[in-house]
Amino acid sequence: MDATAATTSSEARTARRRRRPRPALSALAGLLLIAGCAGDAPSALNPAGSGASRVAGLWWLLFWISVAVFVEVMALLTWALVFRRGNVRIRHGQPLRFVTVAGAGLPFVILVAVYGVGLRDLAALGDAPGPEALTVEVTGHKWWWEVRYPGASGATANEIHIPVGERVKVRLRTDDVLHSFWVPQLMPKTDLIAGETRETWLRAERAGSYRGQCAEYCGTQHAHMAFMVIAQPRAGFDAWLARLNAPARQPTTEAEHRGQQAFVQGTCAACHTVRGTDAQGRVGPDLSNVGSRWSIGAGAVPNDAGHLGGWIANSQTVKPGNAMPPQPVYAAQLPDLIAYLRSLE
């Protein structure tokens, strides 16, 4: 073999080695991908409230029991494979005893114990840990959440403000179909059933924003029926609630004034409320604080000027099937409407 041929074949080998998929690398990439789901993701295994902590505790209990059972079964299997010998003579009664104890008795004890723990957690989730600080009324609509606080004249949408460390009762109703209220980091799911008022509670142990999601398929935009629970210290919460009971911010600039006029005199006012104006529609969300919300369309798009403009002009392109028809807005009016709505904080 000459030198050139040797080089070529060694190069080909290197190239083949390079092309070959590397299981270790793929596994690492997979792990990184899964790790990407942690962090800020609303994982039930990253609880921030006493309700979710119970669920996470149960999850880990089941997980470690499964690990123990898996390891035991694999050990027995390995043992059987390594030590098998042709015809083993088995003493009468021996296998039966083993199968009865390890195959039936032990699982029975484990399952009954887990069932008991599950019942205990279920009771704890239904029970109140201390008196509730306040009640929030949440109504599910296709596809957004209306949020009201008894005593406050205003409403907000797709965000629930609560004080940190206090128990908040959540009263749940649906305006149309079945929905399910779920804040993975704070509380397991509660279904919203037509004609019924369901109750759950939230308690956040630390300040922060916790994403919630409708967890019951309710139509085309089920995925875009998200909300945010914002837990803040008492003083901040009280200030926020006081604003919910006051008229919306008045326009200050020329553009905001024109935007308010267009809003109140146009079709917007037929469906939306802005407190302190003639716009008192109740079909769609109250927009008195729309400028400060975390998203537009219950998680459909970010709340910025561009997306707001697109939503006003034709929300059907943003969130097809939602209840808001395309609006006959003059091009010249759109920037004013955007300026006005963005000023409502």
What does the binding site for ligand CUA look like in residue numbers (CB under 6 A)?
140, 143, 179, 214, 216-218, 222, 225
Residue 179 or 243: the one with the smaller Cβ distance to ligand CUA is 179
Residue 156 or 174: the one with the smaller Cβ distance to ligand CUA is 174
Asked if 172 and 138 touch (Cβ cutoff 8 Å), the reply is yes
DSSP assignments along 90-135, one per residue: --TTHHHHHIIIIIIIHHHHHHHHHHHHHHHHHHHHHS-SS--SEE
Quote the DSSP letter at residue 280: B
Residue 132 or 176: the one with the smaller Cβ distance to ligand CUA is 176
Smallest gap from residue 138 Cβ to ligand CUA (A):
12
Smallest gap from residue 178 Cβ to ligand CUA (A):
8
Asked if 186 and 210 touch (Cβ cutoff 8 Å), the reply is yes
Characterize 203-233 residue by residue with b for buried, 16 or more Cβ atoms within 10 angstroms of its Cβ, and e for exposed: bbeeeeebbbbbbbebeebbebbbbbbbbbe
Residue 222 or 342: the one with the smaller Cβ distance to ligand CUA is 222
Smallest gap from residue 179 Cβ to ligand CUA (A):
4
**Is residue 68 within a helix (H) or strand (E), and if so which, with residue range?**
helix 50-83
Smallest gap from residue 146 Cβ to ligand CUA (A):
12
Cα–Cα distance measured from residue 302 to residue 308, given in angstroms and rounded to the nearest whole number: 9
Residue 141 or 167: the one with the smaller Cβ distance to ligand CUA is 141
105 burial level (CB within 10 Å; 0-12, 13-18, 19+): exposed
Smallest gap from residue 287 Cβ to ligand CUA (A):
21
Smallest gap from residue 284 Cβ to ligand CUA (A):
16
Q: Which residue has the tokens 């042709």?
A: 86
Smallest gap from residue 148 Cβ to ligand CUA (A):
18
Quote the DSSP letter at residue 292: G
Read off φ and ψ for residue 105, nearest 5 degrees: -60, -50
Residue 221 or 232: the one with the smaller Cβ distance to ligand CUA is 221
Cα–Cα distance measured from residue 128 to residue 51, given in angstroms and rounded to the nearest whole number: 10
Asked if 297 and 145 touch (Cβ cutoff 8 Å), the reply is no
Residue 146 or 256: the one with the smaller Cβ distance to ligand CUA is 146
Residue 215 or 274: the one with the smaller Cβ distance to ligand CUA is 215
Smallest gap from residue 202 Cβ to ligand CUA (A):
18
Contact partners, residue 281, CB within 8 Å, separation at least 6: 268, 269, 270, 271, 272, 273
